[in-house]
Amino acid sequence: QIEGYILDHFRRNQTLKDVNVLITAGPTMEPIDPVRYISNHSSGKMGFALAKAALLCGAKVTLVAGPVHLEPPAGCTYHSVKTTKEMHEIVLQLFDQQQVVIKAAAVADYRPAEMAMQKIKKNQTDLTIQMVKNPDILLELGKKKTHQILVGFAAETEQVAAYAADKMKRKRLDLMVANDVSREGAGFQHDTNEVILMKPSGEMKEIPLASKEIIAQEIISEIVTILNRK
């Protein structure tokens, strides 16, 4: 019922009418060889819920997603990518024309230094995978940003607020969505989430356990507030 009320409110107000919003979602997948890969447990649900919420507010949404098992919401421009490098390339390309960028994707921070062209045979008892750092997309966007509102996510398993506050500062974010993915019902794979919204001013707002749709609407509301104050 509350959800219905908020949706109606959004639809009536079209608070993001014709605003260009870029959202990234899901994990990325880094190949070790043609068969094996490294990835993470992001399902893309949070990013897709954000895309839907932004569309309802009249935004022009571009959704860039890693490998997920979800239907892209009707009305968005959809780009499917695999690796962090691919996501990096397309997001940087599209950045200039955006007013709002929400990086909900859980990109792989590292990738195997080399991808084997053939399947690695299991002759050895041990195997060492050398990993190198991927480009830090959010950090680059923070440095590059001019007019854009930049929203980041921090998925942590300990010292959540401290890590998230540090990340917000280093990456010059306008809004940080922090969540403790080790909590019951929060974060990856779940249909629910529980987050803390943090702003550079030090303002914090806890959003208790709710569906990712509700959480998405709260985040979008916060973004609208920030946009209106600009």
Q: Which of residues 189-228 bind a second copy (CB under 8 A)?
A: none
Does 80 engage in binding with a second copy (CB under 8 A)?
no
Smaller CB separation from a second copy, 109 or 218: 109
Q: How far is CA 18 from CA 61, 187, 221, in A?
A: 9, 30, 16
Q: What angle do CA 93, 170, 219 make, to 5 degrees?
A: 70
Does 181 engage in binding with a second copy (CB under 8 A)?
yes
Instruction: Give the integer Cα–Cα distance in Å for 116 and 202.
Output: 46
20 tagged catalytic: no
End-to-end distance of the chain based on CA atoms, in angstroms? 32
- Site map for a second copy, 35-74, x if CB under 8 A? xxxxxxx---------------------------x-----
Binding-site size for a second copy (CB under 8 A) equals 38
Instruction: Give the integer Cα–Cα distance in Å for 208 and 186.
Output: 10
Smaller CB separation from a second copy, 131 or 209: 131
Which among 46-54, 91-99, 101-109, 198-206 is the span making contact with a second copy, rule CB under 8 A? Answer: 101-109
Q: Is the dihedral of CA 199, 203, 206, 210 positive or negative?
A: negative
Q: Give the shortest CB-56-to-a second copy separation in angstroms.
A: 27
Helix (H, G, I), strand (E, B) or coil at 26: coil
Q: Give the shortest CB-9-to-a second copy separation in angstroms.
A: 34
Report the DSSP beta bridge partners of residue 153: 177
Q: Which of 13, 20, 40, 179 is catalytic?
A: 40
CB atoms within 10 A of CB 16: 24
Residue numbers of the site for a second copy (CB under 8 A)? 32-41, 69, 106, 108-110, 113, 118-119, 121-122, 124-133, 155-158, 163, 181-182, 188
Cite the active site residues.
40
